[in-house]
Amino acid sequence: MKVLNEFKCVFPAQSANEGLARAALSAFLIPADPTAQELADLRTVISEAVTNAIVHGYRGSEGNVSLCLRMLPERVIYIRVSDKGCGIPDVARAMEPLYTSAPEEERAGLGFAIMQTFTDSLHVRSSEGAGTVLTMRRRLGGQPDD
């Protein structure tokens, strides 16, 4: 599929970078002129995805989180967040609402529920010991001008 614009970055799995990822997304979306709700939804989605990579992927160990943002035709926003952390042994279970593998962190277990609700599609590819790749798409309202 034709990629109209793309932004990639890699940052260490430190919680301060959750805000950096949101800021990068906000800046990337400026030309698309999303509604306030679309922007808030996608900022929440990327925050959940990056937090999952940091909290559950790396569990305090060092590593990098990779972010790829794409603007696709028909005003579709593509977001990919990947880590090379511990991976998810049971993806279906991890996606159940309220399930968390880190109760001591007081995680609500709602990350995947939010990502699913605020996007049009969510794809999870994970293998134990190798890491996790989350891919999400969301079509913005309004008329495409491409």
Partner 1 sequence: MQIHYDTQTAQLLVRLDGEIDHHSSNRLRSEVDAAVYAHLPQTLIFDFRDVSFMDSSGIGLIMGRYKILHPLGGEIILQNPSAHIARVLRLAGMERLASIRVREEVVQ
Hey, what amino acid is at 111? G
Question: ∠ CA 110-125-14 to the nearest 5 degrees?
Answer: 60
Can you tell me which of 13, 25, 42, 47 binds partner 1, judged by CB under 8 A?
A: 47
**Using rule CB under 8 A, residue 22 touches partner 1:** yes
Q: How far apart are CA 63 and CA 12, in angstroms?
A: 6
Query: Which residue lies nearer to partner 1 by CB, 51 or 126?
Result: 51
**Using rule CB under 8 A, residue 15 touches partner 1:** yes
SS3 73: coil
Q: How far is the CB of 116 from partner 1 (least distance, A)?
A: 10
- The answer to whether 5 and 25 have CB atoms below 8 angstroms apart is no
Q: How many residues bind partner 1 (CB under 8 A)?
A: 26
**Using rule CB under 8 A, residue 110 touches partner 1:** yes
Q: Which two tokens stand for residue 79?
A: 């977001």
- The answer to whether 3 and 72 have CB atoms below 8 angstroms apart is yes
Which residues are marked as active site? 48, 52, 107
Can you give the binding site for partner 1, defined by CB under 8 A? Answer: 15-16, 18-19, 22, 36-37, 40-41, 43-44, 47-48, 51, 54-55, 105-111, 113-114, 117
